[in-house]
Amino acid sequence: MPAELIMEVLPEEGGGFNARGVEYAIFTHGRDMAELKANIIEAVSLYFEDLPDPPRSIRLHHLTVSEEVFSW
Protein backbone atom coordinates (compact mmCIF):
# COMPACT_ATOMS: atom_id res chain seq x y z
CA MET A 1 0.00 0.00 0.00
CA PRO A 2 1.46 3.38 -0.93
CA ALA A 3 2.14 5.84 1.87
CA GLU A 4 0.89 8.65 -0.35
CA LEU A 5 -2.17 8.81 -2.60
CA ILE A 6 -2.30 11.21 -5.56
CA MET A 7 -5.54 12.95 -6.51
CA GLU A 8 -6.04 15.19 -9.55
CA VAL A 9 -8.18 18.27 -8.88
CA LEU A 10 -10.12 20.01 -11.65
CA PRO A 11 -12.21 23.15 -11.23
CA GLU A 12 -15.86 22.78 -12.27
CA GLU A 13 -17.21 25.20 -14.85
CA GLY A 14 -19.98 26.50 -12.59
CA GLY A 15 -17.81 26.59 -9.47
CA GLY A 16 -16.49 23.95 -7.12
CA PHE A 17 -14.00 21.17 -7.73
CA ASN A 18 -13.84 17.54 -8.88
CA ALA A 19 -11.14 15.15 -7.72
CA ARG A 20 -10.10 11.75 -9.05
CA GLY A 21 -7.50 9.24 -7.96
CA VAL A 22 -4.54 8.74 -10.27
CA GLU A 23 -3.91 5.08 -9.39
CA TYR A 24 -7.26 4.16 -7.80
CA ALA A 25 -10.89 4.57 -8.88
CA ILE A 26 -11.71 7.24 -6.31
CA PHE A 27 -13.91 10.18 -7.36
CA THR A 28 -15.47 13.02 -5.38
CA HIS A 29 -16.34 16.71 -5.55
CA GLY A 30 -16.79 19.77 -3.34
CA ARG A 31 -18.22 23.27 -3.53
CA ASP A 32 -14.97 24.73 -2.17
CA MET A 33 -11.50 23.44 -1.28
CA ALA A 34 -12.38 22.76 2.37
CA GLU A 35 -15.39 20.64 1.38
CA LEU A 36 -13.36 18.89 -1.33
CA LYS A 37 -10.64 17.89 1.16
CA ALA A 38 -13.24 16.57 3.62
CA ASN A 39 -14.92 14.59 0.82
CA ILE A 40 -11.56 13.22 -0.35
CA ILE A 41 -10.80 11.96 3.16
CA GLU A 42 -14.23 10.31 3.32
CA ALA A 43 -13.87 8.72 -0.15
CA VAL A 44 -10.35 7.44 0.55
CA SER A 45 -11.41 6.06 3.95
CA LEU A 46 -14.31 4.18 2.36
CA TYR A 47 -12.21 2.89 -0.54
CA PHE A 48 -9.53 1.46 1.78
CA GLU A 49 -11.78 0.56 4.74
CA ASP A 50 -10.96 -3.17 4.61
CA LEU A 51 -7.18 -2.67 4.53
CA PRO A 52 -5.12 -2.50 7.71
CA ASP A 53 -2.75 0.27 6.56
CA PRO A 54 -4.46 2.82 4.25
CA PRO A 55 -2.52 5.81 2.86
CA ARG A 56 -2.31 8.69 5.36
CA SER A 57 -0.92 11.30 2.99
CA ILE A 58 -2.80 12.71 0.00
CA ARG A 59 -1.09 14.80 -2.67
CA LEU A 60 -3.36 17.07 -4.72
CA HIS A 61 -2.34 17.82 -8.30
CA HIS A 62 -4.27 20.92 -9.33
CA LEU A 63 -5.04 20.79 -13.04
CA THR A 64 -6.26 23.83 -14.89
CA VAL A 65 -8.28 23.81 -18.04
CA SER A 66 -7.54 26.70 -20.30
CA GLU A 67 -8.65 27.62 -23.75
CA GLU A 68 -7.31 30.17 -26.17
CA VAL A 69 -8.91 31.54 -29.32
CA PHE A 70 -7.12 33.88 -31.66
CA SER A 71 -7.70 35.31 -35.11
CA TRP A 72 -5.21 36.02 -37.86
Residue 36 has what pLDDT?
98
Question: pTM, whole model, 2 decimals?
Answer: 0.84
Evaluate if residue 71 carries a pLDDT over 90.
no
Summarize pLDDT for 8-63 with one digit per residue, the tens: 999 998 999 999 999 999 999 999 999 999 999 999 999 999 988 888 899 999 99
Asked whether 52 and 1 are in contact (CB, 8 A), the reply is no
Q: What is the CATH number of domain 4-62?
A: 3.30.160
- CA 24, CA 42: separation in Å to the nearest integer? 14
Start-to-end Cα distance in the chain: 53
Top pLDDT among 49 and 69 is at: 49
In a 3-state reduction of DSSP, which class is residue 57?
Answer: strand
Strand partners of residue 11: 17
